[in-house]
Amino acid sequence: MFERTEITLADGVRLHAEVSGPADAPVTVVLLHGWCLDRRTWRRQVDALGGLGRRQPRVITYDIRGHGRSSATRRHAATLDQLGDDLAEVLRRLAPAGPVVLGGHSMGGMTIMEYAHRHPAEFADRVAGLLLVSTTAEGHTHTRYGLSPTVAGVLRAGETLGAGLLARSGAWRPHRAVLPALAPALRWLLFGDRCGEDDLGLTLRSVGRASLRSIGGFRSSIGAQQRLDTLATVGRIPAAVLVGDRDRLTPPPCAESIAAALPGAELTVCPGAGHMLPLERPEEVSAALLSIVRRVNRGTRRAHRRTAYPEAA
């Protein structure tokens, strides 16, 4: 069971969130989706967390501004800076106390890094575990779309131009009638060897709920972000980094640099998988997340014992 809630931010944007798990859980997990997607990307991981029984965490998923059921964003606020601040506000409103595990897919992972950069004291005080899936800390440095550098450069130039035009198109969303025509391109760009019809359908429906302003507007800051130095300051907390070896958007070098910068991170490369690991490889992603939550749970139990029985510490 889950409850739906809504947060109204200072600039009037409304974020749609879904919360499940016990309110008094020792750990809260917050899962952030990628560019042009929505909270449903994480549905299998949310189900897996619910199977932890008495030690299951409280779980929060939400649609970022301009995506899913959340309201549209102004063009100047379609930035990773803003998303990092939005995450800070979500935590203050929905998870004001206790340890937090943050999981991010693609732009969701970049949002977590921006939160760590812009709110370092809060991050250090609250975040006890990290899951970074199919993401990058180096903008489009390694993005080649699986093509030659020359062809990739031409494609990126066209993508950048198109993104600029979309960013000026307002809060309109892609017409449902055009989504089937996008299916072959999205199948090639986002998925690896295997692509379930349900997974592709969910991806298309998610894209259809993102505003054109969001589809185009976030592209600039995504391409420019550089946060390896921020990751190096995080400290040794339970962390996992996953990537598919067929990922055309954030290929393995993106994950390798993150794992090298993040102390103690465990790197997993999934053979034959593309960019949509929470859907393509749900078991591997869920296993990594459950492992982190269990480790954080053990840490909270030890901390409780030290507080309750200081003479035994």
Q: Cα(175)–Cα(158) distance, rounded to whole angstroms?
A: 22
Structure tokens belonging to residue 148 = 């030659």
End-to-end C-alpha distance for the chain, whole angstroms: 38
Average pLDDT, the chain: 88
Sheet holding 14-20, edge to edge: 2-8, 14-20, 58-62, 28-32, 100-105, 127-133, 239-244, 266-270
CA torsion sign, 207 to 203 to 87 to 2?
positive
Residue with tokens 């030690």: 55
Please say if the pLDDT value at position 170 is more than 50: yes
Please say if the pLDDT value at position 186 is more than 60: yes
pLDDT number for residue 29: 98
Radius of gyration for the alpha carbons in the chain, expressed in angstroms and rounded = 19
Considering the chain, what percentage of its residues have pLDDT values greater than 70?
84
CA 90 to chain CA centroid, Å, is 14
Q: Angle at the Cα of 139 (from 71 to 247), degrees rounded to 5?
A: 90
pLDDT number for residue 309: 43
pLDDT number for residue 304: 47
pLDDT number for residue 215: 77
Q: How many Cβ atoms are within 10 Å of 261's Cβ, its own excluded? A: 19
- Helix, strand, coil tally for the chain in percent (to 5): 50, 15, 35
Angle subtended by helix axes 197-208 and 179-190, to nearest 10: 120
CA 214 to chain CA centroid, Å, is 16
Contact between 299 and 293 under an 8 Å Cβ cutoff? The reply is: no
Higher per-residue pLDDT: 169 or 103: 103
Q: Report which of 73, 226, 223 is spatially closest to residue 159, judged by C-alpha positions.
A: 223
List pLDDT tens digits, range 114-162.
999 999 999 999 999 999 999 999 988 676 666 667 665 655 555 554 5
- Spell out the domains of the chain, with CATH numbers in brackets: 2-312 (3.40.50.1820)
Residue with tokens 């997993």: 268
Residue 283's alpha-carbon distances to 15, 47, 52, 57, 241, in angstroms, are 28, 11, 15, 18, 14
Please say if the pLDDT value at position 278 is more than 90: yes
pLDDT number for residue 308: 45
List pLDDT tens digits, range 22-66.
999 999 999 999 998 999 999 999 999 999 888 899 999 999 999
Q: Cα(313)–Cα(306) distance, rounded to whole angstroms?
A: 5
pLDDT number for residue 69: 95
